[in-house]
């Protein structure tokens, strides 16, 4: 079947987030406008300058957090958790939850050679504790590190499998092995743009005939100590407030920065023909995707706004896909799900890029980061799931805490009174100028 003819739909959703790890709880919190931002208890707050963020407290790492699993699979995952850091655990859990939600957790209903995965993650940083024993073994009587002793005395103290806990391709690898997925497999690591890029590649695999079913999405965290410090030193952070739930306020004139978070999302993507033949519930159809990377050469070309250009390029690509699919963008209601980091310059650039593409179209823009902060690579998949649920319930969740839209953000920020419509565009960008997005319409 040609790429133009093949239609790809969403048949399963899995989420691990500060708003919950089951779809009902996740949606209920969005619907009730309940924030997932609170005091952190997994970071050393005496040395970390930020005390609040979006912590996925619903995920403890217990095998029950991975969803309904048959006993053999439970044992396999539990055994291998010793070589999974938290981000990898959350990613595996989201994928297993999505498989169950799609009705594809039973190996008997899967064709291994036609089932694959493309999954994203952040650049995962090794925890210093991995080296602690080795470093301690190389200290002299004055507690000074002796580098010459490292090869023979220090390095043997490090777990030889330590690296497996932090490789960004391991979420996809674990899920493929546990579920005997022998189709296309790939991993994506481009920060907040990772989720969209993984979905675009997974859809392409189905359209080009390489697979019938794919898992796509991403996992991410800014909660690990070194990762948190790195993020805080490179991107503006929100200042503390008496009520931490008010700290994330995308596009608001008083916004002052990001909030750290953690989470993972996964979508089961399937050819329309296969989904219909097996009577699967369809949560949306992926019409198309677009990506762009614009370097920030402001020192060479004054006035050049890389994020605005990249987001605008992506949005124009998504609108072209929608128009080609016969979607009426001018009279039928739909919404945009923006990146909405609460970054002063980033929000203005993103909003301007969206407006450049929309032109005079009056389309509501929502942003789920206002509920849980920046989940890194996992943000996009969780946000896309949120918009799919909004279409299903025909209720658009507002952007929390945005009381007065910054004039530099020329978009219509959702207040929750608008219809989500029967379609949405999702766009995400990294601070490095990478952007990716997908356009999805409601089934039926």
Residue 1: predicted pLDDT = 36
Q: Are residues 75 and 97 in the same domain?
A: yes
Q: Are residues 149 and 223 in the same domain?
A: no
Q: What is the pLDDT of residue 303?
A: 53
Number of CB atoms found within 10 A of residue 407's CB:
8
Question: 156 and 200 share a domain?
Answer: no
The answer to whether 220 and 198 are in contact (CB under 8 A) is: no
pLDDT one-digit tens code per residue, 333-368: 999 999 999 999 999 999 999 999 999 999 999 999
Mean pLDDT calculated for residue range 49-66: 94
State the residue range of the domain holding 411: 8-125+166-441
The neighbouring-strand residues paired with 5 are none
Instruction: Give a yes or no: residue 394 inside a domain.
Output: yes
pTM tops 0.75, yes or no: yes
pLDDT at 3: 42
Specify whether 143 is located in the same domain as 266: no
SS3 content of the chain, % helix, strand, coil (to 5): 40, 20, 40
pLDDT for 49: 80
C-alpha dihedral over 103, 109, 113, 114, to 10 degrees? Answer: -50
Q: What's the whole-number mean pLDDT along residues 57-74?
A: 96
pLDDT digits (tens, 9 = 90+) for 302-311: 456 899 999 9
**Distance in angstroms (rounded) separating the CA atoms of residues 303 and 374:** 27
Give the number of residues written for the chain: 444
Distances (CA, A) of 287 to 8, 174, 204: 8, 29, 11
Same domain for 176 and 48 = yes
315 assigned to some structural domain: yes
For residues 290 and 241, state if they share a domain.
Answer: yes
Q: Domain count of the chain?
A: 2
The string of DSSP letters for 8-27 reads EEEEEEEEEBTTBSSHHHHH
Opening angle at CA 371, ends 370 and 373, nearest 5: 70
Q: Within this chain, do residues 157 and 277 fall inside the same structural domain, yes or no?
A: no
> Are 275 and 133 in the same domain?
no
Quick: pLDDT tens for 221-234. Answer: 988 888 888 888 88
Residue 2, in any domain of the structure = no
Same domain? 17 vs 141: no
Q: Confirm whether 1 is domain-assigned.
A: no
Over pLDDT 70: what percentage of the chain? 97
**What is residue 220's predicted lDDT score, i.e. its pLDDT?**
95
One domain, residues 146 and 217: no
């Amino acid at each position: 079947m040609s790429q133009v003819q093949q239609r790809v739909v969403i048949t399963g959703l899995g989420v691990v987030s500060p708003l919950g790890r089951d779809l009902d709880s996740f949606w209920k919190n969005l619907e009730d406008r309940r924030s997932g931002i609170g005091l952190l208890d997994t970071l050393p707050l005496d040395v970390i300058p930020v005390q609040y963020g979006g912590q996925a407290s619903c995920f403890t790492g217990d095998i029950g957090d991975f969803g309904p699993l048959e006993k053999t699979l439970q044992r396999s995952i539990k055994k291998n958790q010793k070589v999974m850091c938290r981000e990898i655990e959350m990613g595996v859990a989201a994928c297993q939850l999505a498989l169950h939600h799609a009705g594809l957790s039973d190996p008997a209903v899967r064709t291994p050679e036609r089932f694959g995965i493309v999954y994203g993650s952040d650049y995962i940083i090794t925890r210093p504790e991995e080296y602690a024993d080795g470093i301690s073994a190389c200290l002299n009587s004055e507690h000074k590190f002796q580098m010459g002793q490292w090869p023979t005395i220090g390095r043997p103290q490090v777990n030889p499998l330590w690296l497996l806990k932090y490789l960004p391709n391991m979420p996809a690898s674990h899920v493929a092995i546990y579920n005997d997925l022998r189709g296309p497999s790939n991993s994506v690591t481009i920060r907040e743009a990772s989720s969209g890029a993984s979905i675009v590649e997974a859809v392409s695999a189905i359209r080009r005939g390489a697979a019938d079913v794919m898992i796509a999405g991403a996992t991410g965290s800014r909660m690990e100590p070194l990762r948190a410090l790195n993020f805080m030193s490179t991107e503006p952070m929100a200042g503390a407030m008496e009520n931490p739930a008010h700290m994330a306020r995308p596009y608001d004139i008083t916004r002052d920065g990001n909030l750290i978070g953690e989470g993972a999302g996964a979508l089961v993507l399937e050819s329309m023909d296969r989904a219909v033949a097996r009577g699967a519930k369809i949560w949306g159809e992926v019409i198309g995707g677009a990506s762009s990377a614009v370097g920030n050469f402001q020192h060479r070309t004054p006035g050049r706004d890389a994020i605005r250009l990249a987001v605008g390029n992506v949005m124009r690509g998504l609108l072209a896909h929608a128009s080609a699919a016969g979607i009426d963008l001018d009279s039928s209601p739909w919404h945009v799900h923006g990146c909405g980091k609460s970054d002063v310059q980033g929000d203005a650039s993103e909003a301007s890029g969206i407006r450049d593409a929309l032109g005079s179209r009056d389309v509501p823009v929502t942003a789920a980061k206002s509920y849980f902060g920046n989940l890194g690579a996992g943000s996009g998949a969780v946000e896309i799931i949120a918009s799919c649920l909004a279409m299903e319930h025909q209720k658009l969740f507002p952007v929390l805490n945005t009381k007065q839209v910054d004039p530099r953000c020329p978009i219509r920020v959702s207040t929750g009174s608008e219809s989500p419509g029967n379609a949405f565009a999702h766009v995400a960008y990294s601070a490095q100028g990478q952007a990716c997005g997908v356009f999805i319409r409601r089934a039926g």
